[in-house]
């Protein structure tokens, strides 16, 4: 076994990443933009730029469901 076998390029294996396909649904009719969900989210996924709760980046969400737990109007669902 020579040096060339040591430095031989290995085939790229398909790595199975545990990516969570998180969908956050917000019922805008019941939401009063109190901000509790935005404060409770440890990943800063939910923001309130103009009295409307919006999802900043759904890929950052880890499905902890803290936003669902603190929402007083039950407007948030995570699938």
Confirm whether 28 is domain-assigned: no
Condensed to tens digits (0 to 9), the pLDDT of residues 18-53 reads 344 568 999 999 999 999 999 999 999 999 998 889
Confirm whether 24 is domain-assigned: no
Domains: count for the chain? 1
Confirm whether 19 is domain-assigned: no
Confirm whether 76 is domain-assigned: yes
Mean pLDDT over each residue of the chain, to the nearest integer: 81
Share of the chain above pLDDT 70, in %: 72
Confirm whether 15 is domain-assigned: no
pLDDT(16) > 50:
no
Confirm whether 22 is domain-assigned: no
What CATH number is attached to the domain comprising 72? 3.30.70.20
pLDDT value for 47? 93
pLDDT value for 14? 38
Q: How distant, in Å, are the alpha carbons of 3, 8, 15, 57, 70 from that of 12?
A: 20, 12, 9, 29, 43
pTM exceeding 0.85 = no
State the Cα–Cα distance between residues 45 and 50, nearest whole angstrom.
16
Confirm whether 38 is domain-assigned: yes
Confirm whether 72 is domain-assigned: yes
For 25, residues 6+ apart whose C-beta sits below 8 A from its C-beta are 76, 77, 78, 79
């Amino acid at each position: 076994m020579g040096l060339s076998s040591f430095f031989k390029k290995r085939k790229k294996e398909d790595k199975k990443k545990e990516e969570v396909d998180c969908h956050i649904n917000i019922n805008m009719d019941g939401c009063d933009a109190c901000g509790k969900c935005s404060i409770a989210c440890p990943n800063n996924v939910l923001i309130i730029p103009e009295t409307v709760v919006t999802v900043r980046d759904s890929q950052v969400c880890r499905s902890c469901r803290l936003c669902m737990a603190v929402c007083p109007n039950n407007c948030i669902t995570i699938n």
